[in-house]
Amino acid sequence: MSKQPLSVAVIGAGMAGRSHAAGYRQVNTVFGDGLPPVRLAAVADANTELAEDAARRYGYERAVAGWEEIVDDPTIDAVSIVVGNTLHRSIAEALIRAGKHVLCEKPLAGSMEDAEAMVAAENAADVVTAVGYTYRRSPAITAIRDHVRDNELGEMTLFSGRYWADYACDPQGPLSWRFRGGPGSGALGDLGAHAIDVAEYVCGPIVSVSGGALSTQIPKRPLPLGAVVGHSSAPVSDEMGEVENEDTAVFSARFRSGFTGSFSVSRTASGMPNGLAFDACGVGGRAAFDWHRPAEYVFDDPQPESRTRGARQIIAGPQLPYFAGGYPMEAPGVGGGNAEMFVYQCRAFLDQVTGAPAPLPACASFADALRTMQVVQAVVESSKNDGAAVDIS
């Protein structure tokens, strides 16, 4: 193992940016000692107060106002991009030109043109490029993926997925960047990107969509008087602005292996603070997951004794992927959640950067995230054509 520190930085100090910052801080506490020492170099955000607070909380050396300072610093090796989607391309291209490794949050970009350009930069780059699909790091979700791949559910018949959230229920919530951009860049791009990636992670590629329908429940919102952080509220003015994208989206999908899926996503689902859930059904069994109970999943396969047949609750423990070596208390039933997944993601990314023996699968690539955006775009096209079927290249 190299003794030379690996220097990291985070661009964006909001809700997800802090999760990346905290993740890098803990990468050497999980899965052995395969990484060199990690230097927590800098946190960048135009909101300097936010950057300073994140740097202090998570032990970074300094806070800076502009992402350009991260690009220009030759001592920084790897960088997370955790800002508005429309900024991803310009920052990623600049970091790649500077020879820095890049972990970009999803969705990949604010437009298909930008996403395709980022994939072109990835293909030409001599650095590691990756995208943050954190739900791939869930022990329970990965266990279900293994059940499907090992044919323990038999031939697949249905995937039913949803991602319901309520962060946009308040009509007085400020018109932040999340409500800008055209159809597909709202709940479908924000929440649906995760639902689509989880579905393909568990069940394989989606080849077509149909029945696409987008709707907006709150068409106007007040303009903010200052910076808006994450999904939080903020002071607003009396002036109203138009919401440019969808609050809710539904669609059906066909997977490459021939079975079908149904999806619904919403940011105006009251009482659902962060409701990712799915059922994967086959002729020989069913597996189900609900993020509101992240330390377990449901497994139902035929039992020889009729009296004991039915769904079983599988409690997360060292028998599941990523658990052994990844949790300080390696015992069944101790729980788990979002923070651990970001640690695992940052660890996998830095293992790719160093070329160390990888205890975790590699992160998703820019090309993987472009594919998700192609599915999103196909849903938008379906919605514009009365739900017509749209093939995905």
- pLDDT bin (cut points 50, 70, 90) of residue 335 is confident
% of the chain at pLDDT higher than 70 = 99
Q: Which residue has the tokens 């907006």?
A: 216
Strand partners, 296: 315
In a 3-state reduction of DSSP, which class is residue 240? strand
Domain boundary among 79, 114, 135: 135
Query: Based on the structure, what is the number of domains in the chain?
Result: 2
Same domain, 217 and 127: no
Q: How far apart are CA 8 and CA 79, in angstroms?
A: 6
**Which has the higher per-residue pLDDT, 333 or 317?**
317
User: Do 27 and 343 form a contact (C-beta atoms < 8 A)?
Assistant: yes
- State the pLDDT at residue 230: 67
In a 3-state reduction of DSSP, which class is residue 175? coil
Same domain, 191 and 322: yes
Same domain, 292 and 155: yes
- pLDDT bin (cut points 50, 70, 90) of residue 1 is low
- State the pLDDT at residue 16: 94
Locate 224 and state its tokens: 């903010």
Question: Can you give the residue range of the structural domain that contains 20?
Answer: 6-135
Measuring CA to CA, which residue among 34, 137, 76, 126 is closest to residue 351? 34
User: pTM for the full model?
Assistant: 0.93
Give the CA dihedral 122, 124, 126, 127, nearest 10 degrees. -10
Same domain, 29 and 144: no
Query: What confidence tens digit (pLDDT) does each residue in 196-243 have?
Result: 999 999 999 999 999 999 999 999 999 988 777 767 677 889 999 999
DSSP classification of residue 310: S
- State the pLDDT at residue 357: 81
Domain boundary among 135, 155, 190: 135
Locate 95 and state its tokens: 């970091």
Same domain, 125 and 153: no
| CATH number assigned to the domain comprising residue 113 | 3.40.50.720
- State the pLDDT at residue 145: 97
Same domain, 190 and 290: yes
Q: CA distances (Å), 320 to each of 310, 345, 358, in order? A: 21, 17, 17
